[in-house]
Structure 1
């Protein structure tokens, strides 16, 4: 997305996978062993408030950005703001409120581009965001990373790009010396419905000599030094993140009469985890420390049945009793543990209705969880919430993954 990006889909060296998503395999252990969270923005500011200046800064201007883009990027809350509902909004508008000048003359559009340069950068790890992309011919949303200001020599990793003329397809690409612009090395994934119809989770897992791309927790592409045609591998230093919505350009083409403005990209959250070179497979001894996780629905606690730490034990709700079977610890690798084992979606599945169980910790990224400030216990790979089945308030009620709905049977507190 940085310069000279004439990325015609047929010109990108790509692997295309079509159709729906499938449940993750229990053997799908991340090569980039996921460590603790090093960056997070949940965008919980008030409606119309600016982004957190300690985490993000702005690119400003209408130079075309090496791609013949048409927008002028501003730092205005008309284009980049928090919506008051837990989202970042980046809005492209057909307007020119301040006589902005672009590479082609008087600008026709404004939009936003924010980045973590000089605020946060990292080598290796998991970089992910939950995003609902905008739609329309000539609209070009992206979540991507740069390794410095000497493009392409310092590298580019495109975590998510979409162009409006291909609404069902996500593209993931790397650019480096000898394989930039139309020669970028990439893959894509096409699903059955437009990506802009819902939030999706876009991620890369990056480790020495390997980068993997994921859509909603399912890998669709990877690249290593053997795939860059003998050119230099430049993914061994800090990269920073960028979020933007471009308008027009050589790849998406320009807006036409079918394009509706304004167009907004909503970002639910951005999170980064460290890379852990121990493989993420070390299981600590059982611990009696941690916190109970109490339900807002019934005041009961998440419990390991009979206090028996056997693989596949289906977790349940039970009267809070202070035993080790109800003491859960959030660990630096993102796992949630009790009695030395991990809180786990059964079978590695990430779909609605997936049972929650206890399993030996194995480094699989599907075993990562976070408790949000709003009390949602969220699986990071699925972006779904831990839910009490059928709103059952009795002892023995079971747990499952389900779309987050803000209901009492999905709200939790440490006790």
Structure 2
């Protein structure tokens, strides 16, 4: 009898977990298509004005060389290209205007570029500037990596009180030596009282809601998701840009947003 009952209980438990995860899933792109990124989900930032960090890339729009879906993966690819004034092209995709979220569990499975001068990021910005311009309304960096510090992943938040310009930003680093060779899952669990940062399902950092004011916790309104590769810039280019590594790509296997941690 026990041999019969235990498998049934196990199967029921697994099915229950699958149903709960499916019910909690509120937005996703599994990249089960080919061509340009889905325009109902993704929009482009375009240009080469430095993006506040003296970056070198020109972000293109609807150019498959820089952003495309193939073999079940989103490819964001940065190129050395003399046809652009600063010598590089890349892509910056975001969900602004299509989807934004206030609280939830956001996870992205990705493999990162490699080499000095690369600066890939998976991050979130506010749909509306509720408290004013950056950094007053907040920024959530789910994953940042700079190529001159290979294998070190950063998870960070920026607010008016806590930001890199003041040297007060709140973040943590975790060693991921295979980040450019293998896929890893980068995630946050954004709750009303804290934001937990995860790498492959393991929590490595928490930013807590102090309860003081928006200068310390502006994370009470919807944010949208951004995926990009920057080149050079104040941080990414702090040790120069290697001219012999291009092209470089970030591959994304999926993006999933849940109403709560599955």
TM range (shorter): 0.7 to 0.9
Q: Distance in 2 between matches of 1:227 and 1:198?
A: 39
1:44 aligns with 2:32: yes
Q: Distance in 2 between matches of 1:186 and 1:226?
A: 15
Give how far 1:178 is off: 2.1
Q: How is 1:282-321 mapped onto 2 (pairs within 5 angstroms)?
A: none
**What is residue 119 of structure 1 aligned with on the other side?**
98
Q: How many residues align?
A: 233
Q: Distance in 2 between matches of 1:44 and 1:95?
A: 30
Give how far 1:223 is off: 0.7
Q: Distance in 2 between matches of 1:227 and 1:202?
A: 27
1:261 aligns with 2:249: no
The two structures have a TM-score, normalised by structure 1, of 0.54
Give how far 1:179 is off: 1.6
Q: Distance in 2 between matches of 1:158 and 1:234?
A: 14
**What is residue 287 of structure 1 aligned with on the other side?**
none
1:69 aligns with 2:55: yes
1:178 aligns with 2:161: yes
Q: Deviations over 1:252-304 (max 9, x none)?
A: 223125x40000100000000013xxxxxxxxxxxxxxxxxxxxxxxxxxxxx
Extract unaligned runs of 5+ from structure 2. 1-19
Q: Does the 8 Å CA contact 1:51/1:81 hold for their aligned counterparts?
A: yes
Give how far 1:231 is off: 4.1
Q: Distance in 2 between matches of 1:243 and 1:122?
A: 16
Q: 1:131 to 1:36 in 2, by over 3 A?
A: same
**What is residue 112 of structure 2 aligned with on the other side?**
133
The two structures have a TM-score, normalised by structure 2, of 0.84
Extract unaligned runs of 5+ from structure 1. 1-32, 101-105, 276-364, 369-415
**What is residue 69 of structure 2 aligned with on the other side?**
82
Larger Rg: 1
Secondary structure in structure 2 of the residue aligned to 1:145: strand
**What is residue 55 of structure 1 aligned with on the other side?**
41
Q: Does the 8 Å CA contact 2:136/2:215 hold for their aligned counterparts?
A: no
Q: Distance in 1 between matches of 2:230 and 2:37?
A: 19
Secondary structure in structure 1 of the residue aligned to 2:180: helix
Q: Distance in 2 between matches of 1:229 and 1:188?
A: 26
Report 1 or 2 for greater relative contact order, CA contacts < 8 Å, sequence distance ≥ 6.
2
Q: 1:225 to 1:162 in 2, by over 3 A?
A: same
Q: Does the 8 Å CA contact 1:209/1:235 hold for their aligned counterparts?
A: no
Q: Distance in 2 between matches of 1:224 and 1:269?
A: 27
RMSD: 2.1
Q: Distance in 2 between matches of 1:230 and 1:81?
A: 38
**What is residue 217 of structure 1 aligned with on the other side?**
201
Q: Does the 8 Å CA contact 1:123/1:236 hold for their aligned counterparts?
A: yes
Q: Deviations over 1:74-119 (max 9, x none)?
A: 0111100012x1000000000044xx4xxxxx22000000000000
